[in-house]
Amino acid sequence: MIITTSRKPSQRTRSFARDLERTLNIPYIQRGKTPLKELFKIDDHILLIGEFKGNPGSLMIYDVENEKTLSSFISVKLQKEICGEKIENKNGIRIKIDKEIDEETLPYIDLFDKFLFQHLNVNEESNIILKLEKDPKYLFSIQFYKGRVKIGPLIRIKSIKLFDSLV
């Protein structure tokens, strides 16, 4: 899996992409004028960060192999806004689901599992935790922790749609 952004991302969107690169240990490729079809040749799974009014506003996860796209609208808080430092992750990530997640939200989490989480370097011994949490205003939130300390970024999932095509 690789991370990229829209063609001319704002500084905040680039910072969010770098935060994800560090915490998920996935390469970030600056897109520039590169068409998506060229990126599809590099990897079968692409995480594209779109923006709304200069802020990261969407995550598009492309599954080239199965010709499906998962689209979600998001709001974010960057690592520097949560913990004030850049956290590096070199040995995988541990995934936890909050006990308060309701049955209604589980199908959305299953979609994220299929499109994103299965393509991460999951390591149950890692001290970096990706935690799926209940959020009263949103479908759910993805928060990163190092031990019990929030390190960011925080991703709030507003909505999710599944498409049977890539573009």
If you average pLDDT over residues 40-65, what whole number do you get?
96
Q: Which residues pair with 17 in a beta bridge?
A: none
Expressed in angstroms, the distance from the first to the final Cα of the chain is 18
Query: Which pLDDT tens digit goes with each residue over 114-151?
Result: 999 999 999 999 999 999 999 999 999 999 999 899 99
- Rounded to whole angstroms, the maximal C-alpha distance in the chain is 43
How would you class 49 by CB atoms within 10 Å of its CB: exposed for 0-12, middle for 13-18, buried for 19 or more?
Answer: buried
Q: How far apart are alpha carbons 128 and 91 in whole angstroms?
A: 9
Query: Which pLDDT tens digit goes with each residue over 72-111?
Result: 999 999 999 999 989 999 889 999 999 889 999 999 999 9
Q: How far apart are alpha carbons 82 and 18 in whole angstroms?
A: 15
Q: Do residues 57 and 50 touch, judged by C-beta distance below 8 A?
A: yes
